[in-house]
Amino acid sequence: MQIVYHLIVFYLTCHLIWCLFREKKFWNQVSVALVLIMFLLRLFLIK
Amino acid sequence: MRNLKGNFVSALLLLFAIAICFLSALKFLSMQKKEAIFPSRGLTSRKMLSSYFPELKKTWGDTDVYLYEGQEKGGNLLILGGAHANEPAGFMSAVLLIENIQVSTGKIIIVPRANNSGFTHSQPQEGNPQRYSLESPWGRRHFRHGSRLTNPVHQWPDPSIYINPAGQKLSGADSRNLNRCYPGKKTGSLTEKIASGIMELIKKEKIDLALDLHEAAPEYPVINAIVFHENSADLAALALMELQIEGFEFRLEASPLNLRGLSHREWGDHAQIMAILLESANASHGRLKGKTSPALIVEGKDKNYTKAAKLGRLFVPYDEDGIPLKLRVARHLAAVKSILSNLEELYPEKRIEIKNMPSSSELKKVGIGPFLNPPN
Amino acid sequence: MVAIFVLLAMLLKLPIGISLAFSALAGSLLGGEGIGLRHLVEGSFGYFDTILIIVTAMIFMNVLQASGILDTITSILLRTFYKRKLALLLSVMALIMFPGMITGSSTAAVLTTGALVAPVLMKMGLSKVKTGALIAMGGILGMIAPPVNILVMIMGGGVDMPYAGLTLPLLIIVIPLAIVISLWLGYRDIKIIEYEKMKAILPPSYSKKYGFRLYLPLIVVLVLMLGQSVLPRIMPDIGIPAILLLGSLIGLGCGRPFNFFRTTQKAIQQSIPISCILVGVGMFIQIMTLTGARGWILISFLSLPSGLLYLGIATSMPLFGAVSAFGSASILGVPFILALIDKNAIITSSALSAVAGLGDLMPPTAMAGIFAAQVVGEANYFKVLRHCLMPALFQLIMGVAVLHFAPFLDKFI
Ligand SMILES: [Zn+2]
């Protein structure tokens, strides 16, 4: 199951990064970046 | 042009996110390095839990097992610390025993970090420090303060509802709570495998009596307690009387029949051994705690708890002096000692004799540091 | 910290999540903890699993929309219920509650079956905001209803109470509330309509074109959710995010064709504000705990004279729900059960879960309110919350009443 969740997080992380570049408003971009931190840390199995 | 500028800001924010990840990752990963323990000369051998249950090899669930075997045959005792890595009195009591004792009769096996994975992270939103330290004659010694649960990075995801090997329905996060996973499941999750490993150890080493050392919040009803399986009712009752004579107040709690998956229940039911769990009161554990710091863990002083005690909300006395770690460890070791002396009374053939047991009265006086060994 | 939050959110109009994150940072600096980067990031991880559920639920909801499943179900429900008001309201309530009952999550309810019934209610004359309120309340009632009530599990875990024997007390609380609330919100406004009129507003149904496989995503999701709570030994518990994503992927081949990546992207965009709020709240709680502010608040509530204890419960638990209902159950629910330890813990925890569940209506997180607003297409979720006020009051009174009459109920359960 861990692999499945790893893949889910990978898929969503890619979308978050994509979203970060598509988003126009600055504070919305910051919001995406804050959420992205968590996804990156879990993607690399750090936290 | 505007698009380019937008992309530039995005790239900058991405770098910012990566930088924060990197900096916090250094902190998070620093918890993976385990603190050294310097065993006494009485140590006869040292194994890993995986030598009893090979499935654990090369997982974060594998953990050190310290064996002390006497010349004469007697009873076999298992002492488990660190089943919950945020309960330092359990872990420190195990460390003090490892660094001091010699066994002349019987056999003692000590597992200081029963849930090794729990020591590698902290529980979100508890604001706990990653480490606390104690002064010893050989310099400061640092110890990790982990989490009650297995690291989610090592066991992921949690089920929505956890049905433990004993059939009890629990919230999903409890699937990472070692003391809800007994008697374990050999093909199960990492935490269930650790529980299996401990059950295997109990069987292969022919353990007669096992003690599980814990701490809990002062507002929790089962506190300063000896929780016993019905197999060890006489032993627990006699030990309690002796402890009261020595001036330690404990409450005696029978292991509830309908609360499954806990060590005191399943060790007794599945391995037919005498099983006892000990709890001491730790303010850093509680929901009412004030400022969270290493000092709160070591010195155990908390104004909120003093206030709560006055309001009659606590199940232990709690005054301005708090309940320091040295006292919590002293209580655990006093209980171990009196349980062993009464074991001999009840079952002379299961006698266990220890030399150099740290004395509780000394501990209360001089603290834990002087009982720690020099690094070697 | 609260002052800084108000300043940033109200005066500078920064997004709520970011304001929370900055005030947490400020709290850490003022509390003498430095920047406390590790604490800030660690705090946000308290909601990592919740965010996964939210994002995947949002994807699933968008898939239901894009593939035409939503329209089809709406048309079926309309055909069945267009002239039966009472039956419509009660069955709609049951439908909304269902995913919440089996997953214990109000989000799962609001974003799945809540999204299914919303168009029907609106076409039958219920206003956007009242529909939102009905869905939000249904989600919360579903979260409290048996068989799975995670709030009780969390509280039970804190006092070593096994999760057993809760079905009856929870039903005693939930069934009257479900009936009263659905009628209160809907009975006056829902209009019985003529067949011709109904025909005119009927959305296109795709059930002829795609047949049975159109319903496959819904069936898979419901079966997997149900399976993990009813047949836990046979059905694997793959967790809500995986179930929802699996359902979404199946939806790819079951109805109108759509671009899965674009749908995901849309879902991510919709879920960013709430995810960011949760990140901010997580940081905020971690720093509050670190500096001792959390303990101070708790001890203040516990210092209330015992006559005011119910008042304390009735105000603090929904208020604390601003950090999520689960947080409220864990942080406040456990001390309150201990304070009421002379009563039956099963009844106490059931009643407290009804009170704590209301936390999902409490801004800034207000998960049930925010998602319900999104489902009905209302930009300002406070408008939805306003209509939740009376139903929430019913629920609060019910919770406190059960708490008060616990010794009496004890004889029957
Ligand atoms: Zn414990």
pLDDT in tens, C322-363: 877 888 888 888 888 888 877 888 999 999 999 999 999 998
Confidence grade of residue B170 (pLDDT, cut at 50, 70, 90): confident
In C45-74, the residues whose Cβ lies within 8 Å of chain A are: 45, 48, 51-52, 55-56
pTM: 0.90
* Mean of pLDDT values over B148-175: 91
Confidence grade of residue C166 (pLDDT, cut at 50, 70, 90): confident
Query: Which of the residue ranges A30-39, C216-225, C253-262 has the most confident prediction, judged by mean pLDDT?
Result: A30-39
pLDDT digits (tens, 9 = 90+) for C383-400: 999 999 999 999 999 999
Distances B186 to B54, B56, B191, C374 between C-alpha atoms, Å:
10, 10, 10, 45
Identity of the residue in A5, A29, A46 whose CB atom sits nearest the CB atom of B25: A46
Q: Contact at 8 Å (CB) between C290 and C39?
A: yes
Token pair listed for C347: 């009844």
User: What is the torsion angle, in degrees rounded to the nearest 10, for the CA atoms of residue B197, residue B124, residue C59 and residue C392?
Assistant: 120
Q: What's the mean per-residue pLDDT of chain C?
A: 88
Determine the pLDDT at residue B1. Answer: 45
Contacts of A4 in chain C (CB under 8 A): 238, 242
Alpha-carbon distance of C368 to C137, in angstroms, equals 8
pLDDT digits (tens, 9 = 90+) for B42-87: 999 999 999 999 999 999 999 999 999 999 999 999 999 999 999 9
Cβ of A34 within 8 Å of Cβ of C52? The answer is: no
Question: Could you write out the DSSP letters of every residue in B48-70?
Answer: EGGGTSGGGTTSTT--EEEEEE-
Q: Per-residue pLDDT for C58 more than 80? A: yes
Identity of the residue in B13, B25, B157 whose CB atom sits nearest the CB atom of A33: B13
Identity of the residue in C31, C240, C295 whose CB atom sits nearest the CB atom of B288: C295
Token pair listed for C398: 């019910």
Cβ of C276 within 8 Å of Cβ of A41? The answer is: no
Identity of the residue in A21, A37, A42 whose CB atom sits nearest the CB atom of B17: A37
Helix (H, G, I), strand (E, B) or coil at B253: strand
Token pair listed for C413: 């359960």
Chain A CB within 8 Å of residue C75 CB: no
Cβ of B21 within 8 Å of Cβ of A46? The answer is: yes
- The length of chain A in residues reads 47
Alpha-carbon distance of B273 to C396, in angstroms, equals 48
Determine the pLDDT at residue C284. Answer: 86
Cβ of A47 within 8 Å of Cβ of B157? The answer is: no
Confidence grade of residue B5 (pLDDT, cut at 50, 70, 90): low
Confidence grade of residue C74 (pLDDT, cut at 50, 70, 90): confident
Report the percentage of chain B scoring pLDDT > 90. Answer: 88
Chain B CB within 8 Å of residue A17 CB: yes
Cβ of B157 within 8 Å of Cβ of C296? The answer is: no
Determine the pLDDT at residue B3. Answer: 63
User: What is the torsion angle, in degrees rounded to the nearest 10, for the CA atoms of residue C296, residue B313, residue B332 and residue B358?
Assistant: 60
Q: Contact at 8 Å (CB) between C141 and C128?
A: no
Chain C CB within 8 Å of residue B125 CB: yes
ipTM of this complex prediction, to 2 decimal places: 0.97
Domain span at residue A39 reads 2-45
Contacts of C104 in chain B (CB under 8 A): 160-161
Alpha-carbon distance of B284 to B297, in angstroms, equals 6
Contacts of C291 in chain B (CB under 8 A): 127, 291
pLDDT digits (tens, 9 = 90+) for C284-293: 889 989 999 8
Cβ of B304 within 8 Å of Cβ of C296? The answer is: yes
C275-305 exposure pattern, b = at least 16 Cβ within 10 A, e = fewer: bbbbbbbbbbbbbbbbbbbbbbbbbebbebe
CA distance A47 to chain B (A): 6
Query: Ligand 1 centre and the CA of C316: distance in Å?
Result: 28
Q: Contact at 8 Å (CB) between B60 and B190?
A: yes
Contacts of C159 in chain B (CB under 8 A): 220-221
CA distance C137 to chain B (A): 22
pLDDT digits (tens, 9 = 90+) for C80-121: 888 888 989 998 999 899 888 877 889 888 998 899 899 989
Q: Per-residue pLDDT for B271 more than 90? A: yes
DSSP class of B293:
-
Determine the pLDDT at residue B300. Answer: 94
Q: What's the mean per-residue pLDDT of chain B?
A: 94
Identity of the residue in B23, B170, B311 whose CB atom sits nearest the CB atom of C163: B170
In C264-323, the residues whose Cβ lies within 8 Å of chain A are: 264-265, 268-269, 272-273, 275-276, 279-280
Answer left, alpha or beta for residue B144, where phi above 0 means left and psi between -120 and 50 means alpha: beta
Q: What domains lie within chain B, and their CATH numbers?
A: 31-371 (3.40.630)
- The length of chain C in residues reads 413
The label of the residue with tokens 């499941």 reads B185
* Mean of pLDDT values over C167-183: 94
* Mean of pLDDT values over C48-52: 89
Number of domains in chain A: 1
Identity of the residue in C17, C41, C45 whose CB atom sits nearest the CB atom of A31: C17
Query: Ligand 1 centre and the CA of B285: distance in Å?
Result: 10
Cβ of A20 within 8 Å of Cβ of B24? The answer is: no
Determine the pLDDT at residue B4. Answer: 64
Confidence grade of residue C177 (pLDDT, cut at 50, 70, 90): very high
Taking the domains of chain C in order of start, what are their residue ranges?
2-412
CA distance A37 to chain C (A): 8
CA distance A11 to chain C (A): 10
Please, which residues have CB within 8 angstroms of residue C241's CB and are 6 or more apart in sequence? A5, A8, B157, C52, C53, C55, C56
SS3 of B328-364: the string is: HHHHHHHHHHHHHHHHHHHCHHHCCEEECCCCHHHHH
